[in-house]
Structure 1
């Protein structure tokens, strides 16, 4: 190689080196880089799963933007995912910073993609079978099957061959726990019933009321969500069975987010849940009454249930 060619070669290498350094600097400046480095958010994107009609839920969630911006002093954008899987994919592809994830979606994002760290769990009031609240805050809840009051379905065993309204397969209350309950009765949730996958527990309740489904798997008690549209929903439906307890929903953040910012976001949501205005908002969104610190081991029971369902 001639000296002239050598000089050109070294110059080209130096340009590549400088470009690489510039790229590294850019990714550290509030960008969700995929090279394993931590990042500091210069704005925050928060996404919810569509436990009810997505447009309705987004309208309820939007006021959180101002409260979180006041807490964190950065811009915040709140949105609702198109389905349960898309919020997991958004975390995995680093399109969002924070996800409100049901337990199974959290485990999927954490275990399969290494894309989520749980920081908080929601708290709710317990619910009686008539839809009224208890006065006890709990960190777990039940899923339940409902059917029309005049139906001949009175137990899980009676669900064989029936059309059941489910949620996405990553929905803890809308699929995983109910599917396990069916399996306990020797009923295959894929072949021994007619699955009807819907978006939103309100849609599942409505499907039972209008005869589209014989039964529905819903969180306890999702009938309250449709009470304004169907005032007689508790008289027109009955509870067939409850599942085992499910850990409450999570707030999870990007794994590679700066640790100091994880703590800031954790405290921001705790403060929001403790304020009168904030609690009213999160209660309207997901019936949350506030948030408590959480850890990954709380969801080992979720992993056990997921393995059961995957083995069917």
Structure 2
């Protein structure tokens, strides 16, 4: 989890207001002849500590300012919801935020999704269902596939991975097997966890399971503990991000033998970048291209990007439907 930083939600709006955003400028205009603003403000929640904010933000905003020919300011939000409210109040025109906040910005303020976060080559990830009872949940014999990120082999069944090949981690897959979970002890994480609770609960419900009455929920904290609960026999089934089994190999070196992945949920989206509908289309296009190319612009940029927001890249392949699905699932847990 990222730590709350310098500015509260109210303080954020006040600080952003100081930045201003005038539209009286002779900067380039788009096809609709809308003038570019003299400045724009980016709101984000960095991964770094407060005293490093200027150092972390300056390279990105300087890069954008130089290449756009307008002043690009960066302002820190203390949480993701604050980025949405800042955009809605036109105190920021660009937000770098999580998937839920992207959905809210689009639905509430007509924001445009322009980029998705890339972490280790992926813009989304599945939650895995794992078990210590493959005879019950696997329609075929578990087989080993290579988890390339860690260079280890892990066991999968129900055809969710190809035996002997690199695992892909692409869902949904094997979800019919969740209909068999009735009566089982199931390790679930906090209700705010997409991979450890929300997507798995929705998947079980769609498989016909009453998650309040048909299973015994075993509360755990963290993906590693969800896996260990299954490994240790405290739960028959558990859920975590793909593939959290790699986090417990030191204490469970035989994890591939004892804990088998038998299903993947729908893909859970990374966050990304959204822009205000008030920005000229040609400015949005240029801004998106620059941000998409930032990580490749220099070794320093790649380091800054990882340190700033924990990313390896951005991509213009936004997969909007994944964000929409995420919003639908969030709505089921809004109360």
Matches within 5 A, 1:126-137: 137=121
| 1:260-309 superposed Cα distances (whole Å, 9 cap, x missing partner) | 543453234223221323334444677643222145xx323543565477
Q: Which residue of 2 aligns with 1:144?
A: 128
- The 1-side partners of 2:49 and 2:254 are apart by 29
Alignment pair present for 1:303 and 2:327: no
Alpha-carbon shift at residue 221 of structure 1 (Å) = 3.8
8 Å contact from structure 2 (residues 186, 238) kept in 1: no
Deviation at 1:176, TM superposition (A): 4.4
State the partner residue of 2:42: 44
Q: Work out the CA distance in 2 between the residues paired with 1:70 and 1:222.
A: 37
Task: Tell me the CA shift for residue 65 of structure 1.
Answer: 0.7
Larger Rg: 1
Structure 1 position 119, deviation (Å): 1.1
Could you say what secondary structure the match of 1:30 adopts? coil
Asked if 1:271 corresponds to 2:293, the answer is: yes
Q: Secondary structure at the match of 1:243?
A: strand
Matched, 1:30 2:21: yes
Q: Which residue of 1 aligns with 2:203?
A: 181
Contact 2:45 2:78 in 1 (8 A): yes
Aligned position for 2:117 = 122
Q: CA deviation at 1:142?
A: 1.9
1:39 deviation in Å?
5.9
Contact 2:113 2:275 in 1 (8 A): yes
Decide whether aligned partners of structure 1 residues 95 and 143 sit closer, same or farther in structure 2, where only a CA change above 3 A counts. farther
Equivalent in 54, 62, 65 of residue 70 of structure 1:
62
The aligned counterpart of 2:106 is 110
Quote the Cα distance in structure 2 between the aligned partners of 1:39 and 1:309.
Answer: 35
Higher helix content, 1 or 2: 1
Q: CA deviation at 1:118?
A: 0.9
Secondary structure (helix, strand or coil) at the match of 2:109 reads coil
Query: Is 1:40–1:257's contact at 8 Å kept on the other side of the alignment?
Result: no
Show the counterpart of 2:156.
none
Residue in 2 that maps onto 1:162: 186
How many Å apart are 1:30 and its aligned residue?
Answer: 1.2
Task: Give the Cα separation in 1 of the matches to 2:22 and 2:252.
Answer: 49
1:102/1:248 contact within 8 Å kept: yes
Q: Residues 239 and 30 (structure 1 numbering): CA distance in 2 closer, same or farther, change over 3 Å? A: farther
Q: Separation in 1 of the partners of 2:83 and 2:136? A: 35
Unmatched 5+ residue regions in structure 1?
1-25, 33-37, 49-56, 126-136
Work out the CA distance in 2 between the residues paired with 1:260 and 1:119: 13
Gaps of 5+ in 2: 1-16, 24-35, 66-71, 138-176
CA gap of 1:281–1:142, structure 2 versus 1, over 3 A, is: farther
Q: How many residues align?
A: 246
**Does the CA-based 8 Å contact 2:130-2:239 persist in structure 1?**
yes
Change (3 A) 1:308 1:287: closer
Question: For the Cα contact (< 8 Å) 1:179–1:309, is it kept in 2?
Answer: no
TM-align CA RMSD: 4.7
With normalisation by structure 2, the TM-score equals 0.53
